[in-house]
Amino acid sequence: MRRCRAISGSLELPDPFDAAELVARLAHDRGRPIDLIAVPARPGAPCGLLVTTGQADYIVYAEDTSEVHRQHILVHEYAHLLLGHGDAPSPDPGLTVGLLPHLSPELVGKVLGRTVYLEPQEQEAELLASLILKRALLPGGRPSGAEPRDAEWAHRLAPLLGTRRPPGPHA
């Protein structure tokens, strides 16, 4: 818990918040590409997947989901990268090749998906993703009991919901 809070608190989040921009910043900082790949959801397949190869990382996500869910998937897989979970051994490269036929089996180095994570890693990534998304809604934190006004909530929720930003204090 402490580790996730420290990581979340140290991040500079895009304002307005956008998960794809957050991922792009990490790719820039690491000097290594992170490609986002939308695929149709498949029964029994994870809704998000992190694929690590020798040349790049790929975050695969269900394209036919809500904007809130898409943002959460991207931040969850981003959290796995921040936490160093991309360094785990590959349990099933065949899963990745099935979801991403344009990647050869030789190219895929590691596969990290919700169906193959060890539970502690999955819980840690989910906690970090939740802390990041909480900060996206309440940047800079707020003193206990200090609630944002309705207009501020609408402004902060708009990018997470994929809606047009309403005019407001930050417009």
Provide CB contacts within 8 A for 98, sequence distance 6+.
none
The answer to whether residue 93 is domain-embedded is: yes
DSSP 8-state class, residue 62: E
The answer to whether residue 149 is domain-embedded is: yes
- What's the confidence (pLDDT) of residue 34? 95
Greatest Cα-to-Cα distance within the chain, rounded to the nearest angstrom? 54
DSSP string of 1-60, one letter each residue: -HHHHHHHHH----SS--HHHHHHHHHHHHTS-EEEEEE---TTS-SEEEEEESS-EEEE
The answer to whether residue 167 is domain-embedded is: no
The answer to whether residue 169 is domain-embedded is: no
- Over residues 12-29, the pLDDT tens digits come to 999 889 999 999 999 999
Would you place residue 162 in the very low, low, confident or very high pLDDT band (cuts 50, 70, 90)? low
Please tell me whether residue 85 adopts helix, strand or coil conformation.
helix
> Above 80 in pLDDT, residue 165?
no
The answer to whether residue 6 is domain-embedded is: yes
Parent domain of 27: 2-161
- Which H/E stretch holds residue 125? helix 119-137
> Above 80 in pLDDT, residue 171?
no
- What's the confidence (pLDDT) of residue 37? 92
The answer to whether residue 168 is domain-embedded is: no
Q: What's the total number of domains in the chain?
A: 1
- Over residues 36-85, the pLDDT tens digits come to 999 888 777 778 888 888 888 889 899 899 999 999 999 999 999 999 88
Provide CB contacts within 8 A for 166, sequence distance 6+.
151, 154, 155, 158
Helices 150-161 and 67-82: crossing angle in degrees, nearest 10, is 80
List the helix and strand counts (H, then E) for the chain: 6, 4
User: pTM for this structure?
Assistant: 0.70
128 close to 120: Cβ distance less than 8 angstroms = no
Q: What are the φ/ψ torsions at residue 15 (nearest 5 degrees)?
A: -130, 110
- Over residues 83-128, the pLDDT tens digits come to 988 664 444 444 454 555 555 554 444 444 444 455 788 899 999 9
DSSP 8-state class, residue 170: T
Mean of pLDDT values over 4-18: 93
